Every structure is written in structure tokens, then in C-alpha cells.
Chains A and B, each alone.
Chain A
Amino acid sequence: MLWHKTWRETQLRFYIGFILLVLLAGGGALEYPQIVKLLPAVSGADLTSELGRRIKEAAELQRTFRGYVWSQWFRQNLPQLGTLFAILIGSGSPITHGSRGAALFTLSLPASRTRLVAVRGAVGLVQLIVFAFVPSLVLVVMARGMGEAYSVVDLLIHGLCWFVGVSVFFALALLLSTMFDDLLRPLLVACAIAVVVGLSSLVFEGVARYGIYALMSGETYFRTGAVPWVGLLAGAALSSAIFYAAVVNISARDF
């Protein structure tokens, strides 16, 4: 019923995102031997400038496969591309699907608006869970075939961190989609907010470690081994609050 409708409306975006993430994860695993070969060149270079310091830091991380996976995948590719597709999946009204007339058909069904948003949210979150774990699993399995090992526990904790963090952007796109009936405006506004949050974490490095991208990358867990429970709870609370706002907003609207 409603889950089927939601799935039909988002499946193309989901498949594109899923395939791209899997390709990126698999490509990352295949690329690792080449990276390892380049590392001695970085050690010998004169890297005293700020840029050099950063290159050296990145190279240091990539000396181990765990560091490589974190810096390339969980800190970079998954938060960037994954966030884009989370926003894309969250965008688009849970009621109208492009035309006001179809909205009237949806609203004539015996389903409350809360249920419509809840199903849309639930299907989206399941899709994000797939994004969180399956491409990472592909990376781990391929790496194992190439003689590298990666802990499944690390994968699960980093996946959880990304999932909780990205659910905030997904909920934001959903909230915006209860305000605008088209696909484009929620997408653009949510992407703009995601970019501003990302850039501000580069400018204000001191507070970046408490930011949403730090949570998504699981940096605390990578560096200290401690699961960032406070960040996870705060992220879950924030996305729940935004979901609630989406429900309130759509319940109050006239169609």
C-alpha cells in the first residue's frame, strides 16, 4: 500500500545512489595497493606548509587499511555522496508526487497525514540503512579478497554514525518537502544547508569536532575507540524533532 507507493516514487533515486556508492566503495578497495605504492614519495617530500601538513596527515592515515578506509570512505566519499542521495530521497512531497490532483487522490484515501509522512520517513530510513552498510560491506569483502582486513565492528559503528548523522539531512529534506510540492526546491534548499554546514566546519575547526559531519564520519570512534553516544543521541533527537515538525506542518496544511 503506502510503502509500495513510496518505494515506487523513490526507487530510481535509491538505485542510482546505491550503484554509485557501491562502485565508489569497490573502486576504493581496488585503489588501495596504488595508494600504498605512492606513500614513500610523500614521506620524502618537503611538506612544511599548512597544505603539506595536511597531505602528510592524510598519508599517515593511509599507511593502515583501517586509516585508509576511514579517511577515504567514512570521512569523505560516504558523507559527501551519501548526504546528497539522502537529501534526494527525502525530497518530494509525501502527498502530491508532482501534481495537485494526485494529492487529492492520496488525501481521499483513509490514511492520516501522519501515516503518510511516517511511511515516507520509514521507507527513506530503510534505504539509508542500506546505504550505510551495504557499500561499506562491499569494500570490506573486496579488500579481504586483496589480502586486507577490516573489522566488521568498525564497519557497523561507522555505518551507524553515518546513518544517524545523515538522517538529520534526510529529515530536513522531508520537512522542506511538506512545505513545497515540487522536488527541486526542497532538494536545493537542503543541499545549500548541507554545504553551509560543511563549509562552516572547515572555517570553525574548533567546533567542527562537535558538528554533524564529524558525527557522520565517526571520527571520535576512529581516533579513540569510543562510540560517540552523546553525538548519536543528539543526532537522533534532532532528526526526530525535524520529523515531528514535518508531521505538524503537513497536518496543518490546506490542499
Chain B
Amino acid sequence: MTEPLVIETAGLRKQYGVREAIRNVNLGVPAGSIYGFLGRNGAGKTTTIKILLGMMRPDAGSARVFGLPSEMPTSSVDIRRRTGFVSEDKDLYDYMTVGEIVRFTAGFYPRWRADLEDRYLRKFELPLDRRVRELSRGTRTKLALLLALCRSAELLILDEPTSGLDPAVSEEVLQLLVSHVAGEQLTVFFSSHQISEVDQIADRVAIIDQGRIVVAGELEELRASYRRIQFVFDGEAPDVVFRTPGVVRAHRNGRVITVLSSAGSEHVVHEARALKPVAVDVLPVTLKEIFLETVTVEG
């Protein structure tokens, strides 16, 4: 059975002056998934997230969260009532103490999880009387996560949750997310430019590049359908354009043509047979390779 979509966008577009931040973004995030939103810095991840939370209005297209339109002020409040959010900067009210900001945030959520609050306060060793401005970036991230996780949210939206953290704290944060999701019924939508962390915890992924979604789907399916196929020829490889659907990219280098296909290898191999290669190698592809092959390389 297909899970209902918690986040659904159609033809989303946003322009800053002459620059198009996102264009024709179509996303579908099923309930219960951990959805990685992968893209380089400035690819349009934060803009998309801001539109989902009603912080920004799209120029065109629509965004629905829990079936509610995010650009409508009243439904946006409902969306935020059911959503936990951690911003990339993890900026909180720096004049408040940890205890104060926890009480402040809890006041907005009638279903605030005091048990989780106690657990995470202890686990993260957060000092209740310390001002937010005195916390290290890692501790501030943990506090921001606590504030997002204790809301009894049905959806967690995390914008670059591990940015600026050292590897040990990043790992701790990712493990926490996985264990939290395992124990609660919730959907996680998180943006990142770290391929490894998306690979580590996501079950679905969308890659955004220059404001466009270039790849989207279940991670396992992507891994199964993407293939790198190498054709080796006797002499110089022929200059050929592959017409088989699913060919993402083809490189010719001396006697070798390397093809990246998003639709398995069978049809590409069939098409290339007419070129009479002397050897054909079909290789699995990692998420990192998919990412690097699909995003535009600058310079």
C-alpha cells in the first residue's frame, strides 16, 4: 500500500531578483520516511524548506504539508503545530537560558513530551541555567534538536542539522535521529550537502541542483536502477550518442566509453552491441557517484 504524502510540492518556483532560487520543484515525501534533500550550498534547499513552513511564499506552484497549503497563514500555523524544525544556523534566543527557552517552546505545544525533555536534557548534558549565547555550536544544535523532538511532532524538518559540527557530534546527532524515529511515528525531511549522512540514514532522497530536482526516489531503488557501464573497444571508441531512455551521462576516453544509466544496464548494453565492444562491465553506483554525475560542476 502506498503511504500518504506528508509533503507534496508541485511546480514550486521562487525568484530572488533575477536569480531563480528554485524552479519547478516537485517533491513527494511519504509518511514515515526519512527523506534526504541533497544539494550543494545555494542549490535551493533552504528556500524550499522556508516555503514548506510558510516563512516564504512561492512565486508559482503549490506546497502542501499534511494536505494543507503552506502559503495560507492559518493552515501554516497548523502545519507548524505538527512540525519540529531546526534551522541551519541553530540560532535561538541567545538572551534566554536553556531552561527558559525549553519552557518558552513547551508553552506552544499542548502535547509537549516532558519525558523526552528529561531524557534529552540528561543525554545531552544541557545546563538549564546556562544562557544560549554561552553554548558551543554543538550544544546549541543539541538544544535545537531537543526543542524540535519534544513537540510530539509528526514531521521533523531539519535544515543541514550537522553543519558546522565536528564528526563525533555529527555522528551523535544522526544516531539520535535514527533512534528517535525508530521509537516514534514520524516523518523526517532533512537537507544536507553531506552525501555520507544522507546515505547513512535516509530511505528516500531528492537531489536538487541549481533549483531543479534532478534525482528523486527511494535510495534502494536508485542504487538498484543506477548502473555504470563501461564499453571497451579494440581501437578508439566511436563517437556515439545513446538514445536509450535513462542515460544520464556518457564519457568517451580513448578506447573506453563509460555510461551512467538511471534505468539499469540492459537497454544500454543492447544499444551498444551494434558498436561491437570487446568488453562490457556493469558496475553498481553509490549515492556519491549519482550525486556527482547529476549536479552541475562549476568552473
Contact = CB atoms under 8 A, between A and B. Distances in A.
Contacts of A109: 80, 105, 108
B96 A108 contact: no
Interface of B: 50, 53-57, 73-74, 76-78, 80-81, 83, 85, 87-96, 104-105, 107-109, 144
A79 B31 CA distance: 59
Contacts of A108: 53, 55, 80, 83, 85, 87
Given A8-B96, A111-B77, A251-B73, A105 B56 contact: no
Contact of B89 (A104, A110, A112, A255): A104
27 contacts: A1-B104, A1-B107, A97-B93, A99-B89, A99-B94, A100-B91, A101-B87, A101-B88, A101-B92, A104-B50, A104-B85, A104-B91, A105-B91, A105-B92, A105-B93, A107-B54, A107-B55, A108-B53, A108-B80, A108-B85, A108-B87, A109-B80, A110-B109, A112-B73, A112-B76, A112-B77, A254-B55
Contacts of B74: 112
Contacts of A5: 93, 104
Given A97-B93, A112-B73, 20 more contacts: A1-B104, A4-B104, A8-B93, A99-B89, A100-B89, A101-B87, A101-B88, A101-B91, A102-B91, A102-B93, A104-B85, A107-B54, A107-B55, A108-B53, A108-B85, A110-B77, A112-B77, A113-B73, A254-B50, A255-B55
Contacts, number: 71
Main secondary structure of the interface of A (DSSP, over half): helix
A251 B144 CA distance: 25
Contact of A110 (B56, B57, B108, B144): B108
Contact of B80 (A110, A251, A254): A110
Nearest to B79: A110
Contacts of A9: 95
Nearest to A115: B77
Which bracket fits the contact residues of A?
20 to 34
A254 B57 contact: yes
A178 to B, nearest CB: 15
A105 B77 contact: no
A172 to B, nearest CB: 24
B92 A102 contact: yes
B53 A8 contact: no
Interface in A96-135: 97, 99-102, 104-105, 107-114
A232 B91 CA distance: 42
Contacts of B78: 110
Contacts of B56: 254-255
Nearest to A252: B57
Contacts of A254: 50, 55-57
Contacts of A114: 73
A138 to B, nearest CB: 29
A254 B88 CA distance: 17
A100 B91 CA distance: 8
A101 B92 CA distance: 7
B39 to A, nearest CB: 18
A104 to B, nearest CB: 4
Top 3 A-B pairs, shortest CB-CB distance = A101-B91, A101-B89, A110-B81
A44 B245 CA distance: 106
Which residue, of B57, B73, B89, has the highest number of chain A Cβ atoms within 10 A? Answer: B89
B108 A1 contact: yes
Contacts of A255: 50, 55-56
A112 B55 CA distance: 11
Interface in A80-109: 97, 99-102, 104-105, 107-109
A123 B88 CA distance: 30
A148 to B, nearest CB: 43
A236 B50 CA distance: 36
A113 B88 CA distance: 21
A102 B94 contact: yes
Interface in A26-66: none
Contacts of B77: 110-112
B190 to A, nearest CB: 14
B257 to A, nearest CB: 47
Which residue, of B74, B93, B109, has the highest number of chain A Cβ atoms within 10 A? Answer: B93
A12 to B, nearest CB: 10
A14 to B, nearest CB: 14
Contacts of A1: 104, 107-108
Contacts of B54: 107
Nearest to A107: B55
B233 to A, nearest CB: 54
A172 B57 CA distance: 26
Contacts of B76: 112
A254 B85 CA distance: 17
Nearest to B159: A104
